[in-house]
Amino acid sequence: MRMLVSVRSVEEALQAAGFGVDYLDLKEPAAGALGGLDTARIKDILAAVRPRHPSLMISATIGDLQAIELTAIEHAIREVADAGVDLVKVGVPGQGGAAADALLGRVALCGRPIVPVLIADDGIDEGLFAIACTLPFPALMVDTQAKLGGSLVERMGPARLARLVATARAHGKPFGLAGALQLRDLPALRELKPAFAGFRSAVCEGERSGSLVPARLKAVHDGLAADRTAFCEAIAE
């Protein structure tokens, strides 16, 4: 299980990268679950991080746009992708419906490396998720919009999340979990074993819009690293 950390500035990006995170996700936490940064700041972060961490995978969000805003979404995707990130994250209503279906189909054909983020507050339609796993996306995620009602693990429960992980694994699709994840969720995450887990709330002081805390970054990183060590030891036996 790899570690993703959401960051909004050059300082935060370098701090997280220095702890050995696997993925950086560029966003503005104060602007919503998938709050977007302007392209100038994205380029500044990339210019600072790439020379020091050339192999680090970096994604960025396009903002909390409504699924029916297809023209605005496509424009935002082009702007963010052209800024130079590896992956572009786009929010999709997880409960399904005509708007979610249309959005998934449109972004799957846009020619850019899109990671759909299925928003789980109103539930996840497992049929929609299975369809998304068959489309040419490099990865998928599930996240929450509201961050004060408990973590994704607490709100959905391990059993439902395990079904999603199994579906993604059956399709060979890298799949990540995020959504106000906390240190207390690490045991459940180690059981679920998604390809990666995304953190912001757990590594910040106070709310997710606060500053990154080195001790918390280390605690999450070490918690996930312990899982990797146990996995490698099991393989070697």
- Which tokens in the block code for residue 224? 């996930």
Instruction: Specify the 3-state DSSP secondary structure of 211.
Output: coil
Using CA atoms, how far apart are residues 79 and 178, in angstroms rounded to an integer? Answer: 24
Contacts 24+ apart (CB under 8 A), 41-47: 41/8, 41/9, 42/80, 42/83, 42/84, 42/85, 43/83, 43/84, 44/10, 45/7, 45/9, 45/10, 45/13, 46/83, 46/84, 46/85
Active site residue 89: yes
Work out the burial of residue 180: count CB atoms within 10 Å of its CB; fewer than 13 is exposed, 13-18 middle, 19 or more buried.
Answer: buried
Measured between alpha carbons, how far is residue 58 from residues 20, 66, 134, 181, 194 in Å?
A: 13, 24, 23, 20, 18
Residue 156 in contact with residue 125, Cβ under 8 Å?
no
Using CA atoms, how far apart are residues 202 and 187, in angstroms rounded to an integer? Answer: 14
Question: Which one of the listed residues 27, 147, 173, 193 is annotated catalytic?
Answer: 27
Using CA atoms, how far apart are residues 33 and 71, in angstroms rounded to an integer? Answer: 21
Using CA atoms, how far apart are residues 147 and 114, in angstroms rounded to an integer? Answer: 23
Measured in residues, the chain has a length of: 237
Match 């607490």 to its residue by tokens.
154
Residues noted as catalytic = 27, 89
